[in-house]
Amino acid sequence: MQATRPCAHCCCTGTASCPTQAFCAGGDVKTAVLQARAGDTGSPMTFFRLEYLNNLAIAQLPRPYIALMDGIVMGGGVGVSYHGSFRVATERYAMARAGKRCIPCPD
């Protein structure tokens, strides 16, 4: 994770186009399971390797990383929010971790 210009902090939010939807709804795990069932085990392993490297980069950022969690935080949304410096949850926040049984190393 490299910034193209210096910044004071990083702020992670859900998509503005779907403000009532989940921060991340586990589509990453669903896709990985479907690929593996079809015989493609390389793509899911590559995806999760890159996802965990991204989580590590977030955890090691030298500046504050703020995750604003509103609604369901699930799947990859857990990784991109929980590894940051600060997590802000609204009254609508709910955490789900459906993928913990089917991925090599849960966050």
Check whether 107 has a pLDDT greater than 60.
Answer: no
pLDDT of the residue at 42: 94
Question: Phi and psi dihedrals of 33, rounded to 5?
Answer: -65, -45
Enter the tokens of residue 58. 């977030």
- Give tens-digit pLDDT for 15-35: 555 555 555 556 677 788 899
pLDDT of the residue at 95: 81
pTM of the model: 0.69
Burial per residue of 22-38, b for 16 or more beta-carbon CB atoms within 10 angstroms, e otherwise = bbbbbebbeebeebeee
Helix H or strand E segment including 11: strand 10-12
Counting Cβ atoms within 10 Å, is residue 99 exposed (0-12), middle (13-18) or buried (19+)?
buried
Domains by residue range for the chain, with CATH: 10-101 (3.90.226.10)
